[in-house]
Chains A and B, each alone.
Chain A
């Protein structure tokens, strides 16, 4: 079945102080698909995906209303622990943010905080994660080096591996290639296509070619509203909304 739904957003409004950042956003995230969020800077797309792992609740002076579902369960209910949600819904950030620790410790961290102590198991999982993120061959001989000595592109793949290690179900990519060169970007894109076999993926990007290359579904945001959402090929070949067409043809943005 092509259309299994992993996550849903219903009637989402979000405010920074009195400024409304999201207006009545509704979206479905499909299982084992890549969903891209495009739109000009400040349109709310990063704010939006941070609701899927409850990262926005860490920000002061914000308010949220609406519902977010993960496998049909509303994740903001008081009986749901944000820690459990974040374990299932991982995130890769805009700028590579490895911990100032060794490469090995960066990956094993997520396992340790989730209570795994078995050394052999951790070593195996670290290797698997680094292999999945296609960085194993570059770092296997220096797992004890500081992660900060890696290049930007390597750091970002390390952050992806770190995220994979906790075996989540959804991965949120918040402009993962914004600070990377074209070669590193290509590697990350390949990786995303590979990962969608096992994960449901949401990616925020400024780069429309990137959205077209990697995603199955695309949502176009403008000023906090989801203007259009649909299959990527439809959005890019036959947008229904004039604003979407203007944006993807480069008339503004």
Chain B
């Protein structure tokens, strides 16, 4: 009997933890939604800002964030995946590899503003990309790398040894086994890592602060070497500068809402891909 009481108390405690978490999540969504909803309109999503960013839409800002996110993933996903494959499948289990592995994990803990400064020094100045989509994407990509590497590693390690052996026993080489068996099996896990890093990258402000973001820029970016406006930095700019804080605040909350939905939409798409992959393979 006493066992039951202890167990039920335990469950109650865990359930309360869950409720608390959901409460915060709910309030964030409610807060952003109620304040941002009034700003949202078709024009807001499709027009450029007007009158010193107190009117008009945020279309170029959304496009800027999309470019930066896409660019960072183009850079970080292949590189991160290749690293993970090398570490998991090819590298000998030595001290050096362990140190590399630990270093990568530590990279995930580096403050994002440091990545911004690094991007400024290396991509903007040293490599001469200037303040541009390229520099911003690369800085964000480096921020995303450790996330992608560690989640890909976990996904690769989770592929059962037995099906690797089956593949090798049929006369497949190691690379064929990785390409045709290990990677497809690990893909849902790898995609999960990519989803998480997309969410992270789309919302980051500090890495693009010195490397890509413009306070205000007329029209859409023309090339990958243009400066861009991006949602997170735009929110920051609207809340801290300008002559009409009241009008700007509404737009800032509108931007937050758009950013929230953008991440939700990208994640949703990746989750859809993942599920499709699972149903094919499960």
List the interface of chain A (C-beta within 8 A of B).
53, 55, 58, 60, 83-84, 86-87, 90-91, 93, 95, 97-101, 109-110, 112-114, 146, 148, 159, 162-163, 166
List the interface of chain B (C-beta within 8 A of A).
93, 160, 162-163, 165-173, 176, 180-181, 184-185, 280-282
> B163 contacts which chain A residues (CB < 8 A)?
97-100
Nearest-Cβ distance from residue A179 to partner chain B, whole angstroms? 12
Nearest-Cβ distance from residue A45 to partner chain B, whole angstroms? 17
> A84 contacts which chain B residues (CB < 8 A)?
171
21 contacts between A and B (CB under 8 A): A55-B165, A55-B169, A83-B171, A84-B171, A90-B170, A91-B169, A93-B166, A97-B165, A99-B181, A99-B185, A100-B281, A101-B281, A109-B167, A109-B170, A110-B170, A113-B171, A113-B173, A113-B180, A146-B281, A146-B282, A163-B170
> A166 contacts which chain B residues (CB < 8 A)?
170-171
Q: Assess whether A55 is in contact with B168, with CB atoms less than 8 Å apart.
A: yes
- Provide the main secondary structure of the chain B interface: helix
Q: Assess whether B281 is in contact with A110, with CB atoms less than 8 Å apart.
A: no
Q: Assess whether A97 is in contact with B180, with CB atoms less than 8 Å apart.
A: no
Given A97-B163, A162-B166, output 4 extra A-B contacts at Cβ < 8 Å.
A91-B165, A113-B167, A113-B170, A148-B281
Q: Assess whether A53 is in contact with B172, with CB atoms less than 8 Å apart.
A: no
Contacts A99-B181, A109-B180 given; does A87 touch B171 at CB 8 Å:
yes
> A148 contacts which chain B residues (CB < 8 A)?
281-282
Q: Specify which of A91, A93, A98, A113 is in contact with B172 (CB 8 Å cutoff).
A: A113
A128 to B163, CA, bound (A): 23
Instruction: Please name the residue on chain A nearest to B280 by beta carbon.
Output: A146
> B165 contacts which chain A residues (CB < 8 A)?
55, 58, 91, 93, 97
Q: Specify which of B169, B170, B282 is in contact with A100 (CB 8 Å cutoff).
A: B282
Q: Assess whether A58 is in contact with B168, with CB atoms less than 8 Å apart.
A: yes
Q: Assess whether A83 is in contact with B172, with CB atoms less than 8 Å apart.
A: yes
A163 to B281, CA, bound (A): 20
Q: Specify which of A58, A86, A95, A101 is in contact with B170 (CB 8 Å cutoff).
A: A86
Instruction: Please name the residue on chain B nearest to A96 by beta carbon.
Output: B162
